[in-house]
Structure 1
Amino acid sequence: MARVDVLLPFRDAAPWIAAAWRSLARQRFGDWRLVAVDDGSRDGSAAVLEAAANGDRRLHLVRVPARGVAAALNRGLREVSAPIVARMDADDLSHPERLGRLVEALRRHPEWHAVGSRVRLFPAPNVPGRMAAYAAWQNRLVTPEAIRRERYVECTVTHATLAVRTEALLGAGGWWEGEGPEDLDLLLRWHRLGCRVGKVPRVLYLWREHGRRETRRSARMTATAFREVKARHLAAELAARGIGRVTIFGRGASLASWTGALARRGVAAEPADWKPGRGVPRWDGLAL
């Protein structure tokens, strides 16, 4: 049994998957196995991966009909036997020290349930300005306290950078297979369960930007889908704390959307028009 099972779902990733394998093969930490789940590829991705592995017994390939990334992840989770599950995407690259540093971080912090790392987007000409700003914001969040504090802003950790204690992943029920971002849902579920997520303050993961990324094409990754996942978890968190009425500060369509999303989940949400940059509003209550 390996110490780390790397879980990699893929569909039609033939242009990149060999490079992803090579980045794993160069890891200085060698006690890993790749659980690669072919989610209905039609471009020969699995054959490309097998050729790159060239008989390496650390490759464990599972083929399933196309059902989406969350279902593929849950199928791969059934194959996991290691105490740590690391994530990776088929179009990205891992730094040679990535797995070793993540394993060491979990050893040094037994109170952490999961750990990620900083990321670098590449190639630079393909990176939109908003994505660069997002990565810079996310890379500033390193401690469990900072990651928890910003949890409803956006995904605070790039999902594919994570190494997770297998028991924490199983205890949370694996990945959500609904119509929305499974990575944000998992992070918010962990926070509600009291799990602590940290980050190695170093770039250990290279996140490839290209036009075929699911984040650019999928209806599961729209602003509306993200807001619905946030609202679902926020409403549950408020209910657990006995809070049934909130004030939402914002403007225009975004303010109306958030008010409606929470109202649909039984939260009485009072909108308050406020533009960032104005003085900080005063109110009596609790800031989550």
Structure 2
Amino acid sequence: MMTKPLVSILIPFKNVDEYFEECLKSIQNQTYNIWEVIAVNDNSSDDSLAIAKTFAANDARFKIYSNEESGIITALRKAYAHSSGNSITRMDADDHMSPERIEVMVNSLVQQGKGSLAVGKVKYFSKAGVNDGYDRYEKWLNKLTATGDNFKEIYKECVIPSPCWMVHKENFEASDAFNPNRYPEDYDLAFRFYEIGLKCIPCTTTLHYWRDYNNRTSRTSEHYAQNYFLDIKLHYFLKLEYKTIDNLVVWGAGKKGKKIANLLVEKNIPFQWVCDNEKKIGKDIYGIRLTHFSNLKESKNSKTIITVANEDDQNMIKSFFKELEQKPSVDYFFFC
């Protein structure tokens, strides 16, 4: 009989005393019980540490450390450094797990073997109600997770929910763990999972309940501002998709299109800039002249970054590229 793997659950925490007990209880109530919690206090000023210590005093599987530095990345590094598990997962201190989360993910990893990434569906909840943006993100993310196609749309948004993944320790090490200092750290890690070729295991079960409230980190920290997301997208696009022999194209001249164009100009990377806005066609921005997208019919070996967010416009763009026999996530990439 195969030995059941030890799962290391890594939890950085800071000022979450209102929610922390619910989080830790949801771990204690897991149907799979071979786990350890490595929780790292990131300079809390409330009762979060006291709550963690209470759990540790009554259950040896809870191990509590303090972050001598500051920030979620250094806290995660410390947690991982003290972990002993063969399977690695992360948890947010203000959320809670479904009772079967760890069991479902462990079984998936054992069945699929090395080179796989366990994910699960997520559900947002909030006292004030979940806003439309998070609701759309949840539905989009869960649709990808149900078929394991998360990485096909990685340039749109973070396709791996930060507190709802599990991976073999060997693969986690190969992805460079929590060593990079790039924010948002969860999106950066998703790209590194993608870079080493991990395959997402399809899952149709809701495994994680994601709490939304006004002062959660992703709402308040500068590290989760839109410009950080665009920087990460372009960084990995240039590293993983673009070759100097390609004709690089930027489609869209809105705020995001201009940001991408400006970054490319700063990097001295040549590109063609197209849009369908008659007011902008023919104008020079950052020294690059905007042209009509129909000019792409003459383009060879092109890789196109699309910064157009409107759904109807995106459908038109997909039809346009289909006529050119170009493929999504191969020849063109949606950045929003």
In 1, distance between residues paired with 2:122 and 2:111? 21
**Structure 1 counterpart SS, 2:205:** strand
- Sequence identity (%): 22
Inter-partner Cα distance in structure 1 for 2:136 and 2:202:
18
Q: Distance in 1 between matches of 2:157 and 2:124?
A: 17
Match of 1:11 in 2: 14
In the alignment, which residue of structure 2 is the partner of 1:30?
33
* 1:63 maps to 2:49: no
Q: Give the residue type in structure 2 aligned to 1:74.
A: R
After superposition, the Cα gap between the structure-2 partners of 1:144 and 1:263, relative to the gap in structure 1 and judged at 3 Å, is farther
Alignment check: 8 A CA contact 1:85 1:164 kept: yes
Report the counterpart of residue 303 of structure 2 in structure 1.
none
- 2:268 & 2:107 partners in 1: Cα distance? 43
Structure 2: 5+ residue stretches without partners:
277-307
Shift of 1:163: 0.9
Q: What is the aligned partner in structure 2 of residue 202 from structure 1? A: 205
Alpha-carbon distance in structure 2 between the residues aligned to 1:273 and 1:176: 39
Give, in whole Å, the separation in 1 of the partners of 2:55 and 2:6: 22
Q: Where does 1:79-228 land on structure 2 (aligned, <5 Å)? A: 79-123=82-126, 125-142=128-145, 146-228=149-231
Moved more, 98-107 or 108-117: 108-117
Does 2:249 match 1:252?
Answer: no
Structure 1 residues 40-49 or 135-144, which shifts more?
A: 135-144
Pairwise CA distance, 1:217: 0.3
Greater mean alpha carbon deviation, residues 205-214 or residues 138-147: 138-147
**Distance in 1 of aligned mates of 2:196 and 2:240:** 10
| Shift, 1:141, TM fit | 0.4
What is the one-letter code of the residue matched to 2:79?
G
RMSD in angstroms over aligned alpha carbons? 2.2
Query: 1:257, CA displacement in angstroms?
Result: 1.0
- Measure how far apart 1:131 and its partner are: 0.8
CA contact under 8 A between 1:118 and 1:199: conserved in structure 2? no
| Pairwise CA distance, 1:65 | 2.7
Shift of residue 61, structure 1, vs aligned partner: 0.7
State the 1:269 CA deviation: 2.6
Q: Does 1:287 align with 2:332?
A: yes
Residue 264 of structure 2 aligns with which residue?
Answer: 262
* Matching of residue 77 in structure 1 with residue 80 in structure 2: yes
- Equivalent residue pairs, number: 287
Q: Distance in 1 between matches of 2:250 and 2:179?
A: 27
| 3-state SS of paired residue (2:273) | strand
* Farther off after superposition, 12-21 or 136-145: 136-145
Match of 1:51 in 2: 54
In 1, Cα distance between the equivalents of 2:143 and 2:249? 28
2:292 aligned residue: none
Work out the CA distance in 2 between the residues paired with 1:266 and 1:189. 25
Q: Deviations over 1:166-209 (max 9, x none)?
A: 11111221125535201111111221222223342211100001
Partners of 2:7 and 2:86 within 8 A in 1: yes
Q: Which has the larger radius of gyration?
A: 2
**Which residues of structure 1 form unaligned runs of 5+?**
none
TM-score computed with the length of structure 1 as normaliser = 0.92
Contact conserved, 2:40 with 2:67, CA < 8 A, in 1? yes
